[in-house]
Amino acid sequence: MSTDISEIITFLKIPTPQPWIDKALKNQDILLIDHAQCEKKAASTALMLIHRYPERKALLYQLSRLAREELRHFEQVLDIMSERGIEFRALSAARYARSLRDKVSSVEPERLVDTLIVGAIIEARSCERFAALAPFLDETLGKYYRFLLKSESRHYRNYLELAQQYSSIDIESKIDMFIAYENALITDVDSDFRFHSGMPS
């Protein structure tokens, strides 16, 4: 399976800093717990958008499929954790997604477009981190993270396509704004390690 994510690196502008990768390799239990939590939240976000925008037919179909896929990934990560004797538990949320969503407009249709762009960025960063980690992980987890690259990159494209479809103007300037903020989040220091946290303290 191809692990070429050059398109996603170009989109995100900067790769995950090496200190985060080093921290993740030393904290694989937290990595997996938060990864499972992220898959669950991704499904929840897709379902929230379906409920909020029932008149958007293209959104309903694409995000319904996405939600099912994310829940399947959630189950798969739970299985991997079970095999490793890791119990799923609640972790405090990273500031990453919350901080990005704080930048979303409160006025429609900008609110929908911004939310879809943020969804694309989160999916793209997840894909980039799976690819960054895979070469350093054990065979089972590395193979699984490489397996996820195809779906995560597809989810990122789906969100971007929907964002452009529902925007009356080109979304490149909005993307640039959100990416700049995202880059600051992953390069700033974070006290807690999470799947989408910034630099370790």
What tens digit of pLDDT does each residue of 74-91 get?
Answer: 999 999 999 999 999 999
> Is pLDDT above 50 for 72?
yes
Q: CB count, 10 Å around CB of 27?
A: 15
Q: Rounded to 5 degrees, what are φ and ψ at 199? A: -65, 140
Question: pTM, whole model, 2 decimals?
Answer: 0.96
Domains annotated for the chain, with CATH where assigned, are 17-200 (1.20.1260.10)
What tens digit of pLDDT does each residue of 11-21 get?
Answer: 999 999 999 99
> Is pLDDT above 70 for 185?
yes
Burial track 49-68 (b if 16+ CB lie within 10 A, e otherwise): bbeebeebeebeebbeebbe
> Is pLDDT above 90 for 4?
no
Average pLDDT, rounded, for the chain: 96
Predicted confidence at residue 2, as pLDDT, reads 52
Q: How confident is the model at residue 1 (pLDDT cuts 50, 70, 90)?
A: very low
Q: Verify cis geometry, omega within 30 degrees of 0, for the bond prior to 15.
A: no
Q: How confident is the model at residue 8 (pLDDT cuts 50, 70, 90)?
A: very high
